[in-house]
Amino acid sequence: MIRSAKIPDIWRKIERNSYKYYIESLNLNGILGINEPINFKKGIFAICGLNGVGKSTVFTAIKDILGINIREQDKIKIQGIEIQGNLKEGNKDILIKNEDGCRLIDVISDEVLLEEIDYMKLIEINKFISQPNFNELIEQYDDNIFDESDLRQLNYLVGKTYDSVVLREIEIEDNVTVPYFQILCNGLEYDSLKMGTGEHFLFYVYWLFKRITKSGIILIEEPEVFISVNSQINLMNFIADKMNEHRFSVILVTHSPFILQNISQDRMVILQNYLNSVDVVNPEYKEDILQDLGLDINRKGIFIFEDALALEFFKSICKRHALYFLKYFRLEKTSGYSDITKIISIPRLKQMDYKIIGVYDGDVKNSGKIQFSNLNWGYVFLPGEISLEEQFQKLTRIYFNELSLKLSLGEHELRILLAKVQGIEYHDWLIELANKTHKDFSTVVDIFYDLWEKENLNQIEEFLSDLSEAIKK
């Protein structure tokens, strides 16, 4: 059983740990049309993508350079192509290839853990324990009774409450052992043959990890196939905990967003197939991967603005520099800074993940109008020490000719138009300009923003940094 409070720390340790062995890069030399190396990270790394995109082919290539046995039907996928990988052994770089004498098992003198986990192994186990004389065979092997700690962890993985589990380990050839389980659960007795496939798979995985005593590399292919969403999440937490204990590396292939729940986006690549060519994409945001795999992503929060111009100005920034905020946050305008202050002064709820962020205009920052000590949610200030309307009015004089071109107006027309709106209250003049040029307000703001950005890139970087910090609070 892994307590919820421990889970974030378990996953943070994954990234900080040192690992004796891990693959740093893989060169497929044109397999699936992939000619650029795939760069991995130490610890855990995920290869993602929808069914049929080529994940299993990449997985087969990895198995081949490590020296893990490949099934005959899988060999066809990589036949005749040299595959290279850069293996890290501590700080040492080792070139490994899918050639005799060049695989990991050939070039490492130490005994190293190499394990492959996939549902096909389970099918082979079921076939073995279904043989007619199996009951006579297991009588030769001793009972291993799982203790309370084992039962708690199995309860966590499967979602049942087990009374007892007895394990027998059957050695069928050198380095090949088959686990056989006898279960008592809520008074019901059954064994491996009568288990559901998902339950059996989780028992098998637990048994494998229970036997680990050394460092190395474990490959896991689509662990989500037979198990529920809760078991997928709990299985990954269990694996992460074991990684921290034994410092082995994990490479997994998956199309499940729940398997990826606690893995950071810099430890993933997504394979995308179009016109028989596969692209390897390093996602900028994890949410993009989860959406590609079919998971609906809830909005993470809301940004509150003083008025329509502030909101559109923010959209202009994000369209060019930070699309993430437009995709995963709502935007709402209010009637001024005082409304923002009221909203972000409401108390926080401890279990509330949704973020409320106030986005004030830059001219109120040092105005003394805001009692910052009363604010309970994050807040930022748009760039500039004067209002956006005033900043944009200055642009009409500095970039008059460019503005004429961008608004598709002659210089004479623009002068007349600006003369008509210059007497309008400064909060409204830009809206009136949009109306008189028959352009959408957001389009006009985009035009002015492009001119404003020329001299204010540093302010944008600072603003986006402040915004990210406000979200974390």
Residue 366 pLDDT class (50, 70, 90 cuts):
confident
Report yes or no on 78 lying in a domain: yes
Determine the pLDDT at residue 157.
Answer: 96
Report yes or no on 164 lying in a domain: yes
CA angle 317, 291, 473 (to 5 degrees): 55
Query: 244 and 17 in contact (C-beta within 8 Å)?
Result: yes
pLDDT single digits (tens) 198-254: 999 999 999 999 999 889 999 999 999 889 999 999 999 999 999 999 999 999 999
In angstroms, the CA 206 to CA 212 distance is 10
Report yes or no on 465 lying in a domain: no
Other C-beta atoms closer than 10 Å to the C-beta of 126 total 15
Q: What is the length of the chain?
A: 473
Which of 213, 235, 251 is the endpoint of a domain? 213
In angstroms, the CA 148 to CA 368 distance is 62
Report yes or no on 143 lying in a domain: yes
Query: 335 and 308 in contact (C-beta within 8 Å)?
Result: no
- Computed on alpha carbons and rounded to an integer, the radius of gyration of the chain in Å comes to 30
Residue 140: exposure state from Cβ atoms within 10 A (0-12, 13-18, ≥19): exposed
Query: 97 and 84 in contact (C-beta within 8 Å)?
Result: yes
Determine the pLDDT at residue 423.
Answer: 65
Report yes or no on 222 lying in a domain: yes
Determine the pLDDT at residue 348.
Answer: 83
Report yes or no on 462 lying in a domain: no
pLDDT single digits (tens) 345-355: 998 877 677 89
Query: 333 and 311 in contact (C-beta within 8 Å)?
Result: yes
Q: Total structural domains in the chain? A: 4
User: Residues 279, 419: one domain?
Assistant: no
Report yes or no on 403 lying in a domain: yes
Residue 218: exposure state from Cβ atoms within 10 A (0-12, 13-18, ≥19): buried
Which of 340, 360, 381 is the endpoint of a domain? 381
407 lies in which domain range?
Answer: 388-453
pLDDT single digits (tens) 409-437: 888 888 888 887 776 666 678 888 888 88
Cα-Cα end-to-end distance for the chain: 30
DSSP 323-335: HHHHHHEEEEE-S
- Taking 90 as the threshold, does the pLDDT of residue 49 lie above it? no
User: Residues 309, 404: one domain?
Assistant: no
Type of residue found at 389: E
Report yes or no on 21 lying in a domain: yes
pLDDT single digits (tens) 289-332: 777 776 666 778 999 999 999 999 999 999 999 988 998 899 99
- Strand bridging mode 144-145 / 21-27: unpaired
Mean pLDDT, the chain, as a whole number? 89
Residue 162 pLDDT class (50, 70, 90 cuts):
very high
Query: 156 and 2 in contact (C-beta within 8 Å)?
Result: yes
Q: Which residue, among 162, 165, 172, has the nearest Cα to 138 in the 3D structure?
A: 172
Which of 188, 213, 238 is the endpoint of a domain? 213
User: Residues 26, 103: one domain?
Assistant: yes
In angstroms, the CA 318 to CA 244 distance is 38
- Taking 90 as the threshold, does the pLDDT of residue 109 lie above it? no
